Amino acid sequence: MIRPAVKLPQTPFARFRLLFLAFAVAGAAQAALTVPTGDASAPAKLAGVVLSLALGGYWILGYKRRRFALALEPFEAYAVFLILHVAPGDPFLPLLGILFRSLYGGFPLAVARYVLWMAALLGAHAGRGEEQMEADMARVAAVALAPLLAQALLVALRTSETIQRRLNSIVQNSTDVVTIVGADQRVRWQAESIRGVLGHAPDAIVGTRVHDLVHPDDRPALDGYFADADGKPDLRRNLTLRLAHGAGGHRHFDVVAANRLHDTSVGGFVLNMRDATDRRELEDELRALAAQREHDALHDPLTGLANRRKLFARLDESTTAARAAKTKLALLLIDLDHFKELNDTLGHQAGDRLLREIGPRLEACAPGASLVARVGGDEFAVLMPLDTTVEAAEVMAGKLGAAIEEPFRFQGMTMLVRASVGIAMFPEHGRDVESLMQRADIAMYSAKSRGVGYEVYSASRDGHSRARLALIGELPDAIESGQIVVHYQPKFDLQSGTVRGAEALVRWEHPQFGLLGPGAFLPLAEQTGLMRPLTLRVLDDALGQCARWQAAGLNLPVAVNLGAPNLLDLGLPVDVKALLEKWELDPSMLLLEITETIVAADPVRVIEIMNKLGELGIELSLDDFGTGSSSLAYLRELPVQELKIDKSFILGMDEDPEAATIVQTIVDLAHNLGLRAVGEGIETDEAHALLTESGCDYGQGFLIGRPMPAAELAALALQPVTRLA
């Protein structure tokens, strides 16, 4: 393969420079050939030709080394001088070379080159006459200035093209989408960036209606802008539009629309669109999170009802509105009875399930309520609307109680729950949030202690409430310090009149309030989780007294009442067995009384505990029989030896024939089942006689024997009596 000796330049500007060099050398050769014979300056001219050739060769070597020093520029200027001075003629070709040469290099180099050329030409003309010099210099200056002007123009063009290319690159490769829409609302020009952002080919978009890209619900906003921009040059507007994606669906875009119809270089509406989908989704998530936090701050997480904070805020708003309207307002507080014991016995899962079911029942029962809230624990509130009367509030309280008493089912078990409701009225009972809440609370606990479903606040209950709070704080110490004492009510054989046993009844010897009956503190024990230690204290005292009576020759079994928390306590049989062993008593000397309502509340669990107690040899009595709704269904399954007829039937026997019939029926039922029948609440001679005639086995009541200390009962048991005044 034959290779050229000299590698030619590859770039256009380098080739132009080489072309100019060829013109300069050719001009020098022409000057040498036209030197007249006998010219005294011939040696100098020939020397100039040699110098031109030498510098040209040096330049070629410099080019090959990729060095184009500014120091070589005088050589080029000298070559121009030779062309113009030594061989004056048509300078078109060399001047064309100069013009091409000016395209090489930047504008600063062109300016420096122009200065060097002028200096070199001035020096070359210094030996000529002034007149000739001025003529030559005018021509040379004009010729030399032309390349400079060409370079300036080229620099300007290059700068403009560079800026345009940069702008085009930015627009085409930007994540923003630029669209130009004509007056007919069709796309006239579409940036390439739409391909990557929205998955559309630009050519496929051009010529289509811009509305085809826009979600139908957002088109009115775009149409509104087009209508407003009519006749308003440069009108700009920020829009939020959903644009169709090529893969399906829509994405959110922030759009800046500008009217450039009057601009001939644009001739349309410019839509600069930026994808805001991710930002919008983030904003939506943040808004949803903020809304959820606000909701959580005002709602109970377990039930979904309003919480205490929201209740207080709504109650404050309602009292303000009621005050302005000069009308009434009712607040109802609801507390579940024995919830703590149920929760402790069956577990938090059952308790939570119960609380979750309470909410919908309350809301369904009070659809017109201003607010239904869970205040905390097992306490709920219903805020009635304005203009609610106390009578309407009482009706609502009854409905709420009935709704709560509907049976709950959990894991195959049926649970019966009751509630106590306290009612406070604005403005009679309180004129602000705190006073209304406090007085509704007082009414609620009064209803609980009295065993009624609901109660309206009464000023007389305030002192009772303060005493209740004091008793709550003192009860634990009272159990430990011996302030809890046991009195005994004799149980008589109605046929023989002898004392056949005693019922242990708890009392509190309070240092300030004196001897308190069970109604004053048993509800507090249930509410504060003290039923277990209190019951164990009573059992211990009663069994100890039974042992002492036996030692004294009295064989008197003792009966102890058990509450709902005790019958749901799986550890009760173990505790009772330990106490029997402590006092060395036969289990038959202990009778445990259980109310019918407790059995109905959770028959499966209660029967399980009763069976374990029965296996120990302990006798069981079903107390307050006849008042429950489901005792007959479970009576055959209950391991009981005794039925105690509720005193409400005994008290009415002498005046109500139906009550007497019910008592006779219960006595016959007990005997048919092989059980003892016991009547309590004997307070009149007529009731005593009727109960004895019915064949009832045992009887209790103030007529024949009030509760008394152990020593008095021992004295009574030594003599057969039928009445104790």
Confidence grade of residue 629 (pLDDT, cut at 50, 70, 90) = very low
3-class DSSP state for residue 128?
coil
Predicted pLDDT at 412: 67
Predicted pLDDT at 664: 94
Confidence grade of residue 491 (pLDDT, cut at 50, 70, 90) = very high
Whether pLDDT at 158 is above 90: no
Comparing C-alpha atoms, which of 79, 88, 17, 91 is closest to residue 48? 79
Estimate to the nearest angstrom the gap between the alpha carbon of 598 and the chain centroid: 40
Predicted pLDDT at 88: 47
209-220 b/e with 16+ CB inside 10 Å = b?
ebbebbeeebbe
- Give φ, ψ of 441 to 5 degrees: -65, -40
Whether pLDDT at 138 is above 50: yes
Beta bridge partners of 273: 177, 255
CB-count burial class (<10 Å; 0-12, 13-18, 19+) for 79: buried
- Distance CA(572)–CA(267), nearest Å, equals 94
Q: What is the pLDDT of residues 500-534, one digit of tens each?
A: 999 999 999 999 888 888 877 887 888 778 999 99
Residue 296 or 148, more confident:
296
Q: What is the pLDDT of residues 215-241, one digit of tens each?
A: 999 999 999 999 999 888 889 999 999
Predicted pLDDT at 93: 44
Per the CB < 8 A criterion, the answer to whether 383 and 311 are in contact is yes
Domains of the chain plus CATH, in order, are 12-169 (no CATH), 174-281 (3.30.450.20), 299-459 (3.30.70.270), 474-717 (3.20.20.450)
Which DSSP helix (H) or strand (E) runs through 372? strand 371-376
Residues 6+ apart with CB under 8 A from 320: none
Comparing C-alpha atoms, which of 493, 498, 517, 491 is closest to residue 506? 517
Residue 556 or 58, more confident:
556
Torsion-angle region of 304 (φ positive above 0: left; ψ -120 to 50: alpha; else: beta): left
Whether pLDDT at 87 is above 50: no
Predicted pLDDT at 721: 53
Mean pLDDT of 237-264: 91
Predicted pLDDT at 446: 83
Per the CB < 8 A criterion, the answer to whether 379 and 333 are in contact is yes
Whether pLDDT at 351 is above 50: yes
Per the CB < 8 A criterion, the answer to whether 273 and 254 are in contact is yes
Confidence grade of residue 140 (pLDDT, cut at 50, 70, 90) = low
Per the CB < 8 A criterion, the answer to whether 594 and 623 are in contact is yes
Q: What is the pLDDT of residues 387-438, one digit of tens each?
A: 889 999 999 999 999 999 888 877 666 777 889 999 999 999 988 998 899 8
- Distance CA(238)–CA(659), nearest Å, equals 85
Mean pLDDT of 568-582: 93
- Distance CA(205)–CA(595), nearest Å, equals 84
Whether pLDDT at 129 is above 50: no
Both tokens of residue 307? 């919480």
Q: What is the pLDDT of residues 164-194, one digit of tens each?
A: 565 566 555 666 888 999 999 999 988 888 8
Q: What is the pLDDT of residues 676-709, one digit of tens each?
A: 999 998 988 999 999 999 999 999 999 999 999 9
Q: Which residue has the tokens 């219903």?
A: 382
Torsion-angle region of 38 (φ positive above 0: left; ψ -120 to 50: alpha; else: beta): left
